[in-house]
Structures are given as structure tokens and as C-alpha cells.
Amino acid sequence: MTAPADEAVPPAPSTSFKMSGGPRISFNAIDSALSSLKNCQSYIDSGMDVATQVALDLVESFNDEEDVNNMEKVMLEYATMDRELNHYIKAFEETINQNKQNVDIGFNRYDLGRIVEEINM
């Protein structure tokens, strides 16, 4: 059954959205990018494990305190990367979910930046 010509027909659900004033972007491409970000998490975890093992080896072999302190700094850098990546992924996911609910809302940097700020508070 078709709607009469004078009645508005709602658009079919879409897997893409239009950026304000710009081209349409596929959610599949965005989901793929998000998946890649999540893969980075495993690299950070592996790096932290290696840094921890090296730090323990340095302590056990009674190496110079400066070497141990340098490894501690490396571990802190990994922890910072981990925290920042988690915040970014969470903000990215929340922005995607908001836009999937209403594909007419444009994805913009302001939305992502605002969500990151809310998470960091």
C-alpha cells in the first residue's frame, strides 16, 4: 500500500548521517574507526606489561635508580595514554549513539569536545 501523494512518507532508517553542510558519512566507516581505536587499547596494554617487566628486572638486578625512575616514567606515560584513549573512545561512542538516534543531527567537533569535557569533570 502506498501513501497518497499529499502525505509525507517518513524516510527509511539510514546507516549514515549528513554533516552540517557536508557529505553523508557511513556509520559503518565510523564503527570501523572506533574498532581500530579499541585495538590500540591492546597495544597500550602490551606496552604496559613490557614496561612493568623491564622495571621489575631493573629492580631485581639492582640497577641504577635513575634507570628504575625512567621506567616508572614510561609506565606513567602508558597509564596516561590508556586513560586518555578510554575517555576518547567513550566520548566517541556517546556521540555516535546520539547521532544514530537522530540521523538528521550533524556530527561536529563541538559535540565530541563537549562530551570529552563532561567525562573529564
Domain boundaries, the chain: 27-120
- In the chain, count of helices (H) and strands (E)? 3, 2
Residue bearing cell 549528513: 18
Compute the distance between CA of residue 111 and CA of residue 119 in angstroms, rounded to an integer: 13
CATH of domain 27-120: 1.20.58
- Asked if 19 contacts 111 with a C-beta cutoff of 8 angstroms, the reply is no
Mean predicted confidence (pLDDT) in 14-26 = 54
Span 92-103, pLDDT tens digits? 888 888 877 766
- Asked if 27 contacts 18 with a C-beta cutoff of 8 angstroms, the reply is no
pLDDT at 108: 57
Span 69-117, pLDDT tens digits? 899 999 999 999 999 999 999 988 888 888 777 665 455 556 667 777 7
